[in-house]
Amino acid sequence: MEEANNNIANQQNESRSIREVQQSFAASLGYFNETIWDLLSHEQADILMAKIRNIIPDPKITADVADDARKKLEKQCKANEVMRETLFNSIWEQRKYTNRQSLTSIFYVMVATDETDHNVAPDSKTWSCHPVFRARRCVSDRSGNNSSDCCMIFVDEKGRVYQNWKAYVANNELPAGIMVAPARGVYNLVGNVVKLEAWITPAASPRRKVLGVLDMTTAIGGLGAACVPIAAVLTLPVAAPVMAVAGAVGLGCAGYATARSGAQLADRSIHEQSISVTDRTARNHWLGVIAGAVGLGAAGATSAMTAATSAGREVGAITQMTVNGMNITTIMVSGTGVANGVVELFLKYQDGDDISAMDALQLSASLVLFTHSVYNFKLASTIISETSNSRIGAYRETLSNRQRRMFDKLSKETIRTRGATRGKLDIIRNVNEMPSRQQFNDLYKINRQLNEKGVRPTFDSNGKGIVLNDQVKTSGAELRASVQHKVGPDLLGQVTQPIPESYNVGGNNGKRFTAPARLLAPNPTLVDQTDMTNRNYAEGVGVLRLSSLMVNGVSLVLSKYGQTIFEHIVNAESFETVLLSLADNLPEDVMRFALNMVEIFMDNLWEELHELLQFYLSSESVLYRIGTHILDNYSGLTAKQLSDQFSEILIAVKEYYLSLNPNRYREMLTKCKECGGFYDICAL
């Protein structure tokens, strides 16, 4: 499992600081000073699972991999599957706070592993990166206002659940160092700069360090104490005082380990992790608690029997049987603990995972209980006579985060300039012919220079390389060598054409509309709005409103449509992509009808839905839903024919959003003692 965690936790980059990486995350995951949420209905579990699979991908197993390496990779895949399932279950369970709908968002916590100064940590270039899911819990009041200042649930990569941000900061299991994250897990941009906060991780706190030393010291003491009764059982001479000290140290180790194991189980329960004996980690803790409780009880009973015999009092047969039974039970339970601990250490060593002080402590406690129980059992069987006598889209999912960003950029530009049908074929050709994914890393490195020169790359139609502004053919490696290292011809200088116009759509081609990857999920991206009156336009909306769309040679002027459409666009690029994709499947008159419907929807229903859903509903989501509803139910009808179905379409789209309502009836809400907001827990 630890190796599975390393896939997503131990990523280091020598050239980029934590601040730079978090700024990149904020650019794609944040929206001004708003709180972003992704809304999934209770029937869309597969979408969340697909997202988790993108975060925790399986290693690729090729045909030429050696047998030993193959077995290791297959084992890694199984560990990843368990990790994904655990994470999914923890996130999906939080629907109990949002009326059985899933309302979450992802952000990233980065740990500066080489710093102790909070002020310097954001500029560290040695770090680990950890995904965290944020889920809505409370809303600020019964009137449906935002939840940005209320308790939110946080689920880390191990599936641990934290009831609020304060609990996550205080009890996370991040590596030792300084954690740097967006404030309260929300990417907010102040002057286009992400707002970050830094805290020392619990693993680096003085308390945790002292506890680690105490665990290891106790474990060593317990191992020493376990050797003494072994020697006595083997009939080696052991002085009575040595045996007495070993017994006291052993009981101390067992008592401490029992308390620590009990505390670990309580911690797992609080953070909604499995405490079933079928879980490897939980099973170790249960064996520690049970063996400790039974072992300490048996030790006490044996001591009492010894004292009674030494005092000359007769010990009855039932008492003898009880003491022997307790010692036999301790031998069985502690012996199981020893076997489980040894196997667990072996598996961790085999998997290359770190062996913690807690692992050593539990094995030591089980061993000392086992050896002392064996010795005590000997005493229990002979004490009377002796005293009387003396443990993505399949290809996209294989890409790293930066590779995936450049792949998405090339895909969108290819579709924009060549149309959805031809563009996707070109992308597939490149995926099939691509010798290496390195070209996406090359393009990522020079992305800023391409933007500055007004150059947009697309996939080459023959499946071999890229094309700049539909003019200059090249490859990622050649382009990076030219731009970054000044090696070879000046490729950017050869680009004389401007950014190509959008594809001139020829009307409905008779095929079913298929949206790009980011729009495949029918769920909207919603924004928890804090100030409706002072919201800025999304980037690029002003330019978008002044542009036009060509459908069957007819110009569709966007500025003719209402102000409300453009006021509620969250992502101008997404809105444009939906427009182009719909235009590839709808004739010009139906496109005008759909845009008019969006305008009427935003004018007449937006406020009502915002009040009820308590979220900011984007124009691109409404356009997507209206367009797909027309294609699914009224394909082939003209705009005049659709006008007869106007009310039915409007009601159907409204009911779709109402079906995703993550909120409970306001009169059923309970006041939260932590933040003063309101929440309700429903049955799943």
| Alpha-carbon distances of 135 from 104, 138, 146, 151, 155, rounded to whole Å | 4, 10, 14, 9, 8
Q: Which of 216-220, 233-237, 290-294, 596-600 has the lowest mean pLDDT?
A: 233-237
Query: Given pLDDT bands bounded at 50, 70 and 90, which one contains residue 276?
Result: confident
Q: How far apart are CA 52 and CA 34, in angstroms?
A: 24
| Segment 27-59, tens digit of pLDDT | 888 877 778 888 888 888 999 999 999 989 988
Predicted TM-score of the model (pTM): 0.59
| Segment 502-547, tens digit of pLDDT | 765 444 443 333 333 333 333 445 555 444 333 444 455 666 666 6
Span 409-418, mean pLDDT?
A: 80
- Phi (first) and psi of residue 12, to 5 degrees: -125, 145
254 with 296: CB under 8 angstroms?
Answer: yes
Query: Given pLDDT bands bounded at 50, 70 and 90, which one contains residue 121?
Result: very high
Span 374-388, mean pLDDT?
A: 54
Helix axes 420-433, 401-418, angle to 10 degrees: 140
Q: How far apart are CA 429 and CA 629, in angstroms?
A: 31
| Segment 292-340, tens digit of pLDDT | 777 777 777 777 776 666 555 666 767 777 777 777 777 787 778 778 7
Kindly tell me if the per-residue pLDDT of 386 is higher than 70.
Answer: no
> DSSP secondary-structure letter at 60?
P
pLDDT: which is higher, 657 or 550: 657
Half-sphere exposure in the Cβ direction for 679 (13 Å, CA): 23
pLDDT: which is higher, 63 or 105: 105
Kindly tell me if the per-residue pLDDT of 172 is higher than 50.
Answer: yes
Q: How far apart are CA 624 and CA 630, in angstroms?
A: 10
pLDDT: which is higher, 332 or 554: 332
Question: In the prediction, which pLDDT does 162 show?
Answer: 95
Q: Which of 16-25, 360-369, 582-591 has the lowest mean pLDDT?
A: 360-369
Q: Which of 155-159, 260-264, 554-558 has the lowest mean pLDDT?
A: 554-558
Q: 3-state DSSP call for residue 299? A: helix
Question: In the prediction, which pLDDT does 315 show?
Answer: 64
Question: CB-based contacts of 516: which residues, under 8 Å, 6+ apart?
Answer: 411, 412, 415, 420, 577, 581
Question: In the prediction, which pLDDT does 392 show?
Answer: 37
Question: In the prediction, which pLDDT does 533 show?
Answer: 37
For the chain, what is the total number of helices (H) and then of strands (E)?
24, 18
Q: Which of 503, 513, 502 is nearest to 582 (CA)?
A: 513
Q: 3-state DSSP call for residue 324? A: helix
Give the sign of the dihedral formed by CA 246, CA 250, CA 253, CA 259.
negative
Q: How far apart are CA 228 and CA 97, in angstroms?
A: 55
Kindly tell me if the per-residue pLDDT of 114 is higher than 60.
Answer: yes
Q: Which of 597, 563, 581 is nearest to 512 (CA)?
A: 581
Query: Given pLDDT bands bounded at 50, 70 and 90, which one contains residue 11?
Result: very low
Q: How far apart are CA 46 and CA 523, in angstroms?
A: 12
Reported in sequence order, the residue ranges of 86-185 that DSSP labels E, i.e. its strands, are 102-112, 127-136, 152-155, 161-162, 178-182
585 with 508: CB under 8 angstroms?
Answer: yes
